[in-house]
Amino acid sequence: MKMFLISDNLDTRIGMRLAGVDGVIVQGREEALDALKNAMADKDIGIILVTENLVELIPDVISDIKLNRSRPLIVEIPDRHGTRRPPDYIMGKVNEAIGIKL
């Protein structure tokens, strides 16, 4: 199984390429949807890395894939500017999942 990157900036693409991960740079919703469709059609790709900025452009599609498909795994990653998530993002998700505040 391979990993594939869908990014909105060159720096992230270069960094992942140095780690051996192939990918594409896209701008806008339509290009992101096309890249995602092409990556999902490749049976060798098991993990698709998508930058947080692009996930914000297609949240409905990403959510549908995560909830209704077992393959590929979609992983949201920060770009070179860092994460856009709040500092307590993971703890918030844990609290939401178990229904109590830790």
Q: Which parts of the chain sit beneath pLDDT 70?
A: 80-93, 100-102
> Measured between alpha carbons, how far is 58 from 69 in angstroms, rounded to an integer?
16
Number of domains in the chain: 1
Give the pTM: 0.79
- Angle 54-67-27 from CA coordinates, rounded to 5°: 15
Report the CATH number that the domain containing residue 30 is assigned in CATH.
3.40.50.10580
Range of the domain at 12: 2-98
Determine contact, residues 54/6, Cβ cutoff 8 Å. Answer: yes
Residue 27 φ/ψ, nearest 5 degrees: -130, 120
pLDDT tens, position by position, 79-90: 766 566 666 656
